[in-house]
Amino acid sequence: MGSHGAGDRSRRTQGGQAPAGRRRTHRSRPHRHPAARPRPRSEPPAAGGGLQVTDQPNPWGDAPGGDRFSAVLPLDLTAFYLQHHKAYLRYAHLQLDSRPEAEDVVDEVFAELADTWNEVLRQPSVEAYAMATLKEVLAQRLAARGREVPFVATAAFAALRDASRVRLTALESNLGLYSAIARLPERHYDVIVLCFVLGYSQKKVAHIMGVSPATVRSHIHGARRRLARYLGFDWQPTEEEKV
């Protein structure tokens, strides 16, 4: 993930997210009532390990419904949890190469959102604020390891690479592509990972990131240009990008 972590809370509150290229500062977190921590667990992965990209809607298995925590969480937060929990898990697992750590990170994210939900709802974009919170907690977890681990070096990405190759053919023309992706600016990186590695549609990525579909297309356009420059080949815009 390199420099793709989020900033502190005060910076996240400006437009729902922190600017790129910053490091997270450690801060204390408010007390959390145990009942406010949603922790539904999916079934254990099949033998052979690793997160797999498939055509199924949820490669982590069907998550339990929200009934177990709907009594202690606002309905709108419960709905938000059910909409974003899987994508956050997959994104976190790709950065950490550890399913238990990914689950803990996502639990912490939703616990923080639950603690400050009224404040979150006042942000310009709830989705962008929540995504910044996810990246902030990920940055803290990576810092606790004593190093920042780019996603290209993780076993999780190695497992995804072959399964995702069909999605990457529009971008890939050099073996250094994966390392080049890790060098992208934060927004470009997120869009490429979510669209081309994790396989979400541009519309879904826009929803996850709290931006418009046009913004996602713009980031893809910019990422393609940067990747071409990093990899030393001529960039030719697609017909869609010429419009």
Cβ–Cβ < 8 Å for 108, 137: yes
98 shares its domain with 199:
no
Q: Which of 120, 149, 178 is the last residue of a domain?
A: 149
CATH number assigned to the domain comprising residue 7: 1.10.1740
| Domain of residue 207, residue span | 153-242
Q: Are 124 and 11 part of one and the same domain?
A: yes
The answer to whether the CB of 63 falls within 8 A of the CB of 88 is: no
Is residue 164 one of the residues assigned to a domain? Answer: yes
**99/155: higher pLDDT:** 99
Q: Could you tell me if 158 and 144 lie in one domain?
A: no
Q: Are 94 and 197 in contact (CB under 8 A)?
A: yes
As a whole number of angstroms, the distance between CA 12 and CA 130 comes to 9
Q: Which of 26, 32, 8 is nearest to 18 (CA)?
A: 8
CA distances from 41 to 86, 109, 114, 158, 162 (A): 11, 15, 18, 24, 27
183 lies in a domain?
Answer: yes
Domain tally for the chain?
A: 2
Same domain as 123, residue 227? no
Domain containing residue 163: CATH number: 1.10.10.10
pLDDT at 62 > cutoff 90: no
CA neighbor of 185 nearest in space, from 158, 222, 218: 222
Residues 222 and 177 in one domain: yes
Residue 168 above 60 pLDDT?
yes
pLDDT given for residue 73 in this prediction: 76
Residues 87, 2 within the same domain: yes
Provide the residue type at 127 as one letter: E
pLDDT at 82: 93
Check whether residue 3 and residue 101 sit in a common domain.
yes
User: Distance (Å, rounded) from C-alpha 75 to C-alpha 119?
Assistant: 16
Q: In this structure, is residue 28 part of a structural domain? A: no
Record the pTM.
Answer: 0.69
Query: pLDDT tens-digit profile of 102-148?
Result: 999 999 999 999 999 999 999 999 999 999 999 999 999 999 887 66
What percent of the chain is modeled with pLDDT above 70? 61
